[in-house]
Homo-oligomer: A and B are copies of this chain.
Amino acid sequence: MRMGVDYYPEHWDRSMWEDDARLMRDTGISLIRVAEFAWSRLEPTEGQYDFAWLDDAISIFANHGIQVVIGTPSCTPPNWLVEKHPDVLPIDALLHPKHSGVRGHRCYNSPSMRQYTAKIVERMAAHYADHPAVIGWQTDNEFGLHECHCDHCNVRFREWLKDKYGSVEAINEAWGTVVWSGEYSSWSQITTPLGGTKHQNPSFVLDYTRFETDSVVEFQQLQIDILRKLCPNHFVTHNIWSYPMPLDYYKLCENLDFASLDYYPSTDPEKADSNGYSGALTLDLTRGVKRRNFWIMETISGPPGCWFPMWRTPHPGFIRAFGWQSIARGADTLVHFRWRSAPTGAEQFWHGLIDHSNVPGRRFEEYRQLCGEVEKLAPLLDGTEVQGEVAILHSHEQYSAFRIQPQVEGMDYFDNLKSIHRAFTKLGIMTDVLDEAADLSGYKLIIAPSLFLLDPELVSRLEEYVRNGATLILTPRTGVKNRNNVCWIQPLPGPLSEAAGVTVAEYDPIGKDTHTLRWKDGKTYSCSQWCDILEPQGADALAWYEDDFYAGQPAVTGHAVGQGNVYYVGTVPEEAFYLDFFRDIAEQLDLVRFSGLPEGVQHAVRTKGTSRYLFLLNLTRKQQTVPLDRVCQSLLDGQSIGPSLNMAPYAVEIVELSR
């Protein structure tokens, strides 16, 4: 467990390197990430490599005990490469190239791009394979999907389809292209989705999205292969930008050692009560990508800003608290972005720990405190992990399918996932957020929000978990389509109807309208977005609608299956419903829970063997009181705290749990 910063030696006069290294060491920094945008310095013209400057920089930092992660520079092909091989530029749906000058101007399928990327990565890997200060690699930077419609992508897309389907007839069948006379009679008629319209065949677009992910994965694998071969002792990771994203991070990270995250919680005071919860989901998602601890490769050090207006400056305590939140939820290393704000370029106002003034200030002092605390607790926390009893399923494909065909105004796959996760976080229940394809054995409770696309294999697995004792919760728009984005011709929730013991007689896409739900105990809740009118086929009705022509009809059902239970929640209720519903289930299943968390205060537990470390984080601008229910010793300052714990704004406490 350690602290690092993102550092760009090429942005600064060499005369500053030594001072920077010394101040880092004195602050408690033992790691820098470098070079991920430095192609034009590492290969100033074709074939002329210049690593001397980076060697010098690394050696200065190494002399101060600072280790190095190197980023491959494939996010920013240099101007000479663009000039010589314009096909490295991605082409949008209207056939406009994305020009250089910004970053990310590279087509993942461009042969030139791949060839020159391989060359520079090989050179860098060979050069730094045995450098004692270099410990690992970051591939590229913040991979994302950006549509490319160049000739190479069109050729590759057709090859990808040939591999998947074999014939145009099979594509016509799978996608239902007969609608609107879209049938292909030859391969040459198939193109990427040109024109930028949203009205394309959804099966086609979903496959194109998969192709895009596969293009990124291939582009990265080229680099991984080189790094594995030449630097067998180094780790390889990638810095995930954000969620939600159609890019499938599970595939992207499959061959990496661990995932890394670029984490920028909002500093907006109006979001001060909510950003901690979305952050918790982001961290849990990242831990779930590889089902293991991860790194923070970038995180907030000051107000971000550049082509968009600046955010508020982080409130005192904010940087430290969100640093500890990251660790609490599974980060083993924090690398802050960035050491010092850049004086040039488009990100001038994406502030570092130190301002342009080069005078360390309030934020730097707070960061220094965090470094000291991490150093102090590292021996305890090293090797600890986070483990939940509850799994929430997540899927980049479901997200893409919803994006391709929004179901109703206000219904957002990821927002609904967020609401569910937030309810568990508020209840003090740790969750693992996992790919829908993950093995879920051992989880007591599985939440599967909106399994829009459903295949028999996933159905079988879920049914088996339930038969073996798991509780499964389903929500609306489950089982609508198969993996080709084609509707099942059977009552909803489609192939999961049997397990759910219920069918959907009819639905009303109520969108932003609000209806009311009545639980069997008489308590009512509002709901919105969607109303499935349920017809129990063996399940018990648990809640009913109060409005509209379906007043009195079931809205939520429960169904005992084998050792387990399947709940179907046919609408999107307000948070109060989730809190009550999940609390009840938690009690039934005897889930571990930290009770009594005030709004905005989060807990988390990291464990190793019998050691259990409790983190309490006040991620708000308010003073808060937490019922710790006992007196503990703070691991941070050794003070006794509790039984009632007063937490200042952005306060953090860490204690060892005896139980």
- A229 touches B (CB below 8 Å): no
**Would A511 and B312 count as touching, CB distance under 8 A?**
yes
- In the complex, what's the smallest C-beta–C-beta distance from A417 to chain B, in angstroms? 18
**Would B201 and A346 count as touching, CB distance under 8 A?**
yes
- In the complex, what's the smallest C-beta–C-beta distance from A50 to chain B, in angstroms? 12
Query: In the docked arrangement, what's the CA distance between A269 and B548, Å?
Result: 11
Q: Which residue from B94, B95, B182 sits with its C-beta under 8 Å from A101?
A: B182
Interface-forming stretch among A173-181, A217-225, A323-331? Answer: A173-181
**Would A405 and B306 count as touching, CB distance under 8 A?**
yes
Residues of A475-524 whose CB lies within 8 A of B: 480, 486-492, 503, 505-511, 513
- A115 touches B (CB below 8 Å): no
- A310 touches B (CB below 8 Å): yes
**Would B189 and A80 count as touching, CB distance under 8 A?**
yes
**Would A488 and B310 count as touching, CB distance under 8 A?**
no
Closest to A363 in B: B506
**Would B176 and A345 count as touching, CB distance under 8 A?**
yes
Chain B residues, CB < 8 A from A193: 101
**Would A186 and B348 count as touching, CB distance under 8 A?**
no
Interface readout for A271-315 with B: 1 if CB under 8 Å, 0 if not?
Answer: 000000000000000000000000000000001011111111101
Chain B residues, CB < 8 A from A26: none
Interface readout for A120-160 with B: 1 if CB under 8 Å, 0 if not?
Answer: 00000000000000000000000000000000000000000
- A77 touches B (CB below 8 Å): yes
Copies in the complex: 3
- A461 touches B (CB below 8 Å): no
Residues of A590-630 whose CB lies within 8 A of B: none
Q: Is the interface of A mostly helix, strand, loop or mixed?
A: loop
Q: Which of A178, A359, A486 has the most CB of B within 10 A?
A: A178
Chain B residues, CB < 8 A from A406: 308-309
Query: In the docked arrangement, what's the CA distance between A406 and B347, Å?
Result: 12
Interface readout for A310-342 with B: 1 if CB under 8 Å, 0 if not?
Answer: 111101100000000000000000000000011
**Would A73 and B487 count as touching, CB distance under 8 A?**
no
**Would A180 and B102 count as touching, CB distance under 8 A?**
yes
- In the complex, what's the smallest C-beta–C-beta distance from A305 to chain B, in angstroms? 7
**Would A313 and B181 count as touching, CB distance under 8 A?**
no
- A198 touches B (CB below 8 Å): yes
**Would A101 and B10 count as touching, CB distance under 8 A?**
no
- In the complex, what's the smallest C-beta–C-beta distance from A398 to chain B, in angstroms? 16
Q: Which residue from B76, B179, B200, B316 sits with its C-beta under 8 Å from A344?
A: B179
- A41 touches B (CB below 8 Å): yes
- In the complex, what's the smallest C-beta–C-beta distance from A182 to chain B, in angstroms? 6
Interface-forming stretch among A32-40, A440-448, A568-576? Answer: A32-40
**Would B189 and A344 count as touching, CB distance under 8 A?**
no
Query: In the docked arrangement, what's the CA distance between A276 and B30, Å?
Result: 61
Interface readout for A170-203 with B: 1 if CB under 8 Å, 0 if not?
Answer: 0000011111111111101101011101111111
**Would B312 and A200 count as touching, CB distance under 8 A?**
no
**Would B176 and A77 count as touching, CB distance under 8 A?**
no
- In the complex, what's the smallest C-beta–C-beta distance from A519 to chain B, in angstroms? 24
Q: Which residue from B79, B199, B311 sits with its C-beta under 8 Å from A189?
A: B79
**Would A313 and B508 count as touching, CB distance under 8 A?**
yes
Query: In the docked arrangement, what's the CA distance between A179 and B344, Å?
Result: 7
Residues of A354-409 whose CB lies within 8 A of B: 355-359, 361-363, 405-409
**Would B309 and A101 count as touching, CB distance under 8 A?**
no
Chain B residues, CB < 8 A from A634: none
Chain B residues, CB < 8 A from A312: 508-511, 513
**Would A309 and B411 count as touching, CB distance under 8 A?**
yes
Q: A343-B176, A361-B506 are in contact. Are A307 and B405 (CB under 8 A)?
A: yes
- A469 touches B (CB below 8 Å): no
**Would B344 and A181 count as touching, CB distance under 8 A?**
no
Q: Which of A37, A77, A487 has the most CB of B within 10 A?
A: A487
- In the complex, what's the smallest C-beta–C-beta distance from A250 to chain B, in angstroms? 27
Query: In the docked arrangement, what's the CA distance between A308 and B102, Å?
Result: 33
- A78 touches B (CB below 8 Å): yes
Chain B residues, CB < 8 A from A538: none
**Would A487 and B176 count as touching, CB distance under 8 A?**
no
**Would B487 and A356 count as touching, CB distance under 8 A?**
yes
The 10 nearest A-B residue pairs measured at CB: A176-B344, A179-B345, A76-B181, A40-B181, A310-B509, A40-B183, A343-B487, A79-B189, A99-B195, A357-B491
Q: List 29 A-B contacts (CB under 8 A).
A: A10-B178, A40-B182, A41-B183, A76-B180, A77-B181, A97-B195, A99-B195, A101-B193, A101-B195, A101-B201, A102-B197, A102-B200, A103-B180, A179-B342, A179-B345, A199-B307, A202-B348, A305-B509, A309-B407, A309-B511, A312-B508, A313-B509, A343-B486, A343-B488, A349-B405, A355-B506, A356-B480, A356-B488, A362-B506
14 more CB-based (< 8 A) A-B contacts, given A76-B181, A96-B195, A303-B509: A10-B178, A11-B176, A11-B178, A40-B185, A44-B185, A76-B180, A78-B185, A100-B182, A102-B197, A305-B509, A312-B508, A344-B486, A355-B506, A357-B491
